Amino acid sequence: MRTRPTLSWSNPGPALPRTTTLTDVVPIVAEGGVLVLSGAGLSTESGIPDYRGEGGSLRKHTPMTYEEFTTSQAGRQRYWARSHVGWRTIARARPNAGHHAVTRLAGLLSGVITQNVDGLHQAAGSPDVVELHGGLDRVICLDCGLLSPRIDLDRRLREANPDFHATTDEINPDGDVFLPEETVKDFVVVPCVECGGVLKPDVVFFGENVPRPRVEQCYSLVDGARSLLVLGSSLTVMSGLRFVRRAATAGIPVVIINRGETRGDPHASLRVDLPLGESLTELAGLLL
């Protein structure tokens, strides 16, 4: 049974007052040592929708879960057919003004943790990005652990499915799309070239745990930061929220720039409600 991931939450207290100016953000970032935690909202201006914002994809799409992927051959067939189409959009996506502004601010940053799997921070030139949920640009074998480039799998899937020509204009942050069952029922899934095992995108599915060493690396980055700057994340799931809680507990200022309320608001020092591309470009201009 596929369960729908959390769409929202109940805020136990009054909403944190929001500002629509960067006046109070500038001195915090100017001190340096800023750790960025980014979410799907940062990539919407690159044509990749978020999960939970206005019109977010979770309102009409249930992402693949780890349980279904590992236990259902039909589920894997459906996922790879749809993801094969979605990968074309992800691969064509380009960094937007927000990604480029984060790169420009690199001298004031202690690191970047992203919940996104689209690789756009790296494409914009940000160094040493920690991909909390992995990356769609590579594939892992669940049997032998071999990592391989997604572009190689894309070629193999095209060769195995020469008559598969499905298209769609709707893409999800995980690279999945919607296709009718009759479109995917004959899709051929290819195995690992090394051992013949099951291939999975090297991303953390819903219901799957982030690898512990990666979590510890992120905790270490939080502990060493002067401030935490959250960009475009609703912080609905614990994988990102735990770092906000960690920073707040340690007395590290937490600044959240996001359109709409977030689950991390009760832990924030400052909440800014502005479009990310525009606001981050302005922030970089004020500081550099």
Q: 3-state secondary structure string, 98-123? A: HHHHHHHCHHHEEEEEECCCCCHHHH
The response to whether 98 counts as a known ligand-binding position is: no
- Name the residue type at position 12: P
Is 133 an active-site residue?
A: yes
| Cβ contact 231:243 at 8 Å | no
The response to whether 119 counts as a known ligand-binding position is: no
The response to whether 55 counts as a known ligand-binding position is: yes
The response to whether 42 counts as a known ligand-binding position is: yes
| Helix, strand or coil, per DSSP, at residue 19 | strand
The response to whether 50 counts as a known ligand-binding position is: yes
The response to whether 115 counts as a known ligand-binding position is: yes
Residues 6+ apart with CB under 8 A from 281: 97, 98, 100, 101
The response to whether 39 counts as a known ligand-binding position is: yes
The response to whether 107 counts as a known ligand-binding position is: no
Residue 218, Cβ neighbours under 10 Å: how many? Answer: 22
Residue 248, Cβ neighbours under 10 Å: how many? Answer: 17
The response to whether 181 counts as a known ligand-binding position is: no
- The catalytic position among 61, 99, 121, 133 is 133
| Helix, strand or coil, per DSSP, at residue 173 | coil
Rounded Cα gap, residues 197 and 142, in angstroms: 7
The response to whether 196 counts as a known ligand-binding position is: no
The response to whether 43 counts as a known ligand-binding position is: yes
For the stretch 152-161, contacts whose Cβ atoms lie closer than 8 Å and that sit 24 or more positions apart, written own/partner, are: 153/190, 153/199, 154/84, 154/87, 154/91, 156/190, 156/193, 157/80, 157/84, 157/188, 157/189, 157/190, 160/188, 160/190, 161/84, 161/187, 161/188
Phi and psi at residue 136, in whole multiples of 5°? -75, -10
The response to whether 144 counts as a known ligand-binding position is: yes
Rounded Cα gap, residues 266 and 263, in angstroms: 7
The response to whether 234 counts as a known ligand-binding position is: yes
The response to whether 86 counts as a known ligand-binding position is: no
* Binding site feature residues for Zn(2+): 141, 144, 192, 195
- Binding-site positions: 39-59, 115-118, 141, 144, 192, 195, 232-234, 258-260, 276
Q: Which residues are annotated as a binding site for NAD(+)?
A: 39-59, 115-118, 232-234, 258-260, 276
Q: What residues are annotated to the active site?
A: 133
